[in-house]
């Protein structure tokens, strides 16, 4: 091992010094590791984190206002994406009942930030150095690293991207990059560049209301960062259901973006 020649007491002293210095997240990580080795339970840090237990339902489905004063102002888009958005609006106007049709109808999960605005709830798990969000819809998982364990410069693109977080008091600040470019940066638009970045500030607004302020930015899509706030209602007595979209999906979207519905009944059903 690389540092096997370093006396253990020296390592402990260095760790102690780092802790006393009010170190950053990466240093906290090594402190946590060393503390675990020294017999300090790494889970002890979790009691300092805010109580986000229970299951969180999007407020608009819980019958509560989800924004401060109605729909947020529209974002300022680059000409290319303004044209895409206008085309969607026009199609929506011409087709009664048309919602934003994406590959999600074919059970391909949405990426961030859409994944946080699904109709069904999510829950938080706390473990040392990490906050995990389990989202019921499409059974999506977000891992938010607080301990420097993952370097976003070294990860590959994914639906939920690579999330690095830190606590600002009782607010969890999360910066996410490496989100797959075929996902939707906002309702009405599909696609973005590899510069797409999502910043979330997650906090309790009152004991049973969670507010997430989400800022999206991408020089290819937005002329300036675009911020919205979503709210979620706590349900202490709910549990998360299994959600396997491929179980019995009769809906689809074709290669032209048109919505379809299958009445095929599988043999034996």
Partner 1 sequence: MTLKKFIGPALAGLAAALLGFTASAHHSTAMFEWGKEKQLEGVIDKFQWTQPHAFIWLKVPGKNGKEQQFGLEGMSPSWLGRHHWNSRSLQVGQKVTIDYYPLRDGRPGGFFVRVKTADGKLLEGLPGGPGRGPPPPSAATAK
Q: Closest CB to partner 1 among 33 and 251?
A: 251
Give the pairing of strands 162-168 and 140-145: parallel
Q: Does 37 bind partner 1 (CB under 8 A)?
A: no
Q: Closest CB to partner 1 among 58 and 165?
A: 58
Q: Residue for token digits 């919505």?
A: 259
Q: Does 180 bind partner 1 (CB under 8 A)?
A: no
Q: Does 63 bind partner 1 (CB under 8 A)?
A: yes
Cα torsion angle, 116, 74, 167, 204, sign? negative
Q: Residue for token digits 């019995």?
A: 248
Q: Does 96 bind partner 1 (CB under 8 A)?
A: yes
Give the pairing of strands 130-135 and 140-145: antiparallel
How many C-beta neighbours within 10 Å does residue 234 have?
A: 20
Task: Quote the CA–CA distance of 205 and 67 in Å, as a whole number.
Answer: 13
Q: Does 118 bind partner 1 (CB under 8 A)?
A: yes
Q: Does 160 bind partner 1 (CB under 8 A)?
A: no
Quick check: 146 and 131 in contact, CB under 8 A?
yes
Q: Name every residue whose Cβ is closer than 8 Å to that of residue 248 and which is 6 or more positions away in sequence.
A: none
Site for partner 1 in 126-155 (CB under 8 A): 136-138
Q: Name every residue whose Cβ is closer than 8 Å to that of residue 25 and which is 6 or more positions away in sequence.
A: 146, 147, 148, 166
Ramachandran class of 225: left when φ > 0, alpha when ψ lies in -120 to 50, beta otherwise? beta
Per CB under 8 A, the segment of 15-23, 123-131, 213-221, 254-262 that binds partner 1 is 254-262
> Mask of contacts with partner 1, 195-234, x by CB under 8 A?
----------------------------------------
Per CB under 8 A, the segment of 46-54, 90-98, 127-135, 155-163 that binds partner 1 is 90-98
Q: Closest CB to partner 1 among 148 and 257?
A: 257
Q: Does 187 bind partner 1 (CB under 8 A)?
A: yes
Q: Closest CB to partner 1 among 172 and 189?
A: 189
- Residue whose C-alpha is closest to residue 58's, from 70, 49, 69, 67: 67
Site for partner 1 in 227-246 (CB under 8 A): 238, 241-245
The binding site for partner 1 (CB under 8 A) comprises: 60-61, 63-67, 70-71, 95-101, 104-105, 107, 114, 117-120, 136-138, 187, 238, 241-245, 247-253, 259-261, 263, 265, 269
């Amino acid at each position: 091992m690389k540092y096997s020649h370093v006396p253990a007491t020296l390592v402990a002293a260095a760790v102690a010094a780092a802790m006393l210095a009010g170190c950053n997240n990466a240093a906290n990580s090594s402190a946590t590791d060393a503390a675990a080795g020294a017999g300090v339970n790494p889970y002890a840090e979790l009691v300092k984190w805010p109580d986000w237990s229970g299951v969180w339902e999007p407020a608009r489905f819980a019958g509560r206002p989800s924004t401060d004063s109605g729909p947020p102002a529209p974002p300022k888009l680059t000409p290319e994406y303004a044209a895409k958005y206008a085309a969607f609006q026009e199609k929506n106007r011409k087709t009664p009942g048309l919602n934003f049709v994406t590959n999600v109808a074919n059970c391909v999960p949405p990426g961030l930030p859409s994944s946080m605005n699904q109709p069904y709830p999510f829950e938080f798990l706390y473990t040392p150095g990490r906050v995990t969000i389990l989202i019921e819809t499409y059974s999506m998982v977000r891992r938010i690293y607080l301990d420097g364990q993952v370097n976003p410069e070294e990860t590959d693109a994914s639906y939920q991207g690579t999330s690095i977080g830190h606590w600002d008091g009782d607010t969890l600040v999360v910066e996410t990059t490496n989100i797959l470019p075929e996902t939707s940066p906002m309702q009405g638009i599909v696609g973005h560049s590899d510069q797409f970045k999502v910043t979330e500030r997650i906090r309790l607004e009152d004991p049973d209301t969670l507010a997430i302020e989400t800022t999206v930015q991408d020089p290819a899509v937005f002329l300036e960062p675009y911020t919205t706030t979503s709210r979620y209602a706590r349900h202490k007595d709910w549990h998360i259901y299994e959600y396997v979209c491929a179980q019995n999906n009769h809906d689809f979207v074709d290669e032209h973006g048109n919505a379809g519905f299958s009445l095929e009944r599988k043999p034996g059903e």
